[in-house]
């Protein structure tokens, strides 16, 4: 009887141990699976894992190079880490001009992304597996002329999105430029690491504003290639030298028109008071009518 009970307890202990090991093995893998989708949606536009720099650094091995707590803070809210003067963050900003945006990830999302990076770096649950990063997306040849039309609104995007100049300015689109909600894109080609980085950034929609505007009205691959070609062309095009002169001329013209309006109003500001004084001084409206008419004409 005792031997049967001992055997049963041994089986329970072995089963519990197997269950614990299975959970311990599968939990990181499950996190990594969740992190893969988040990485592709939020991070892949600027980073690769083992394929070199794009807009930002290659993240292969970063989970073993940097402290886990620092990585959590950095991915959760990079703007706060930069504002605090963190030396690692400061060095990254100097090395990569396109500052990493706040992505609005939850704590669970951040942990999943870090598990995925560790897995694809050759660590974690898949220590023996080779990185399985998705191949870089390919785009057709871009047409810079059509890209400019899409940028300024001369041609409409297929899915109905707004023209780029609603939020951005760039060289070569006139003295008044474009919008100021987003950054000037004149130097974006160099900042984003060339055509591949630029196309990857536009297609990935990594910033909250881009995601809100374009996630429901995405650009086609051809439109991404065309806009990228125009931005590349604009990178070597300086703003026209007469732009400042045009802006100055418009400013002077506006001042002249404003001065004329003010002068006209200023000359007539006391006319009613003067007419009343003359009328009273001459004993009535009839006797001063000719004078007031002359005064009004002069004013």
Q: What pLDDT digit, counting tens, does each position of 107-133 carry? A: 999 898 998 999 888 854 433 444 444
Which helix (H) or strand (E) segment holds residue 220: the answer is: none
Q: What pLDDT digit, counting tens, does each position of 202-231 carry? A: 887 777 778 788 888 889 999 999 999 998
Residue 109 structure tokens: 């999302």
pTM over 0.85: no
Question: How many helices (H) and strands (E) would you count in the chain?
Answer: 14, 0
* DSSP label of 126: G
37/137: higher pLDDT: 37
Mean pLDDT for 255-278 is 68
Asked, colleague to colleague, whether 2-126 and 144-235 share their fold, the answer is yes
- Domain 2-126, what architecture? Orthogonal Bundle (1.10)
> Of 66, 104, 106, 105, nearest to 86 (Cα)?
66
Each domain of the chain, given as residue ranges in start order, spans 2-126, 144-235, 243-298
147/272: higher pLDDT: 147
Residue-level pLDDT at 158: 92
> Of 232, 234, 215, nearest to 161 (Cα)?
215
CATH 1.10.760.10 given to domain 144-235: yes
190/13: higher pLDDT: 190
In 3-state terms, what secondary structure has residue 160? coil
In 3-state terms, what secondary structure has residue 84? coil
Alpha carbons 119 and 129: distance in angstroms, whole number? 8
């Amino acid at each position: 009887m005792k031997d049967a009970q001992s055997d049963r307890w041994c089986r329970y202990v072995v089963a519990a141990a197997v269950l614990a090991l299975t959970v311990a093995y599968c939990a990181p893998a499950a996190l990594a699976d969740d992190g893969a989708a988040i990485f592709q949606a939020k991070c892949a536009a600027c980073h690769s894992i083992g394929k070199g720099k794009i807009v930002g650094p290659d993240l292969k091995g970063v989970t073993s190079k940097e402290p886990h707590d620092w990585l959590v803070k950095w991915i959760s809210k990079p703007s706060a880490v930069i504002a605090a003067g963190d030396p690692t963050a400061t060095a990254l900003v100097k090395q990569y001009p396109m500052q990493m945006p706040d992505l609005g990830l939850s704590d669970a999302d951040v942990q999943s992304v870090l598990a995925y990076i560790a897995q694809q770096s050759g660590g974690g649950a898949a220590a023996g597996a080779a990185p399985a990063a998705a191949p870089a997306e390919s785009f057709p040849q871009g047409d810079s002329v059509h890209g400019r039309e899409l940028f300024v609104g001369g041609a409409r995007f297929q899915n109905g999105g707004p023209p780029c100049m609603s939020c951005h300015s760039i060289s070569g689109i006139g003295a008044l430029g474009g919008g100021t909600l987003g950054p000037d894109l004149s130097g974006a080609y160099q900042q984003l690491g060339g055509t591949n980085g630029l196309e990857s950034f536009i297609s990935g929609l990594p910033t909250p504003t881009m995601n809100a505007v374009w996630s429901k009205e995405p650009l086609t691959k051809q439109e991404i290639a065309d806009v990228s070609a125009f931005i590349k062309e604009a990178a070597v095009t300086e703003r026209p030298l007469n732009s400042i002169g045009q802006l100055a001329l418009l400013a002077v013209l506006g001042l002249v028109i404003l001065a004329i309006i003010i002068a006209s109003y200023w000359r007539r500001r006391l006319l009613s008071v003067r007419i009343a004084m003359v009328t009273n001084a001459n004993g009535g409206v009839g006797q001063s009518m000719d004078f007031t008419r002359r005064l009004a004409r002069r004013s």
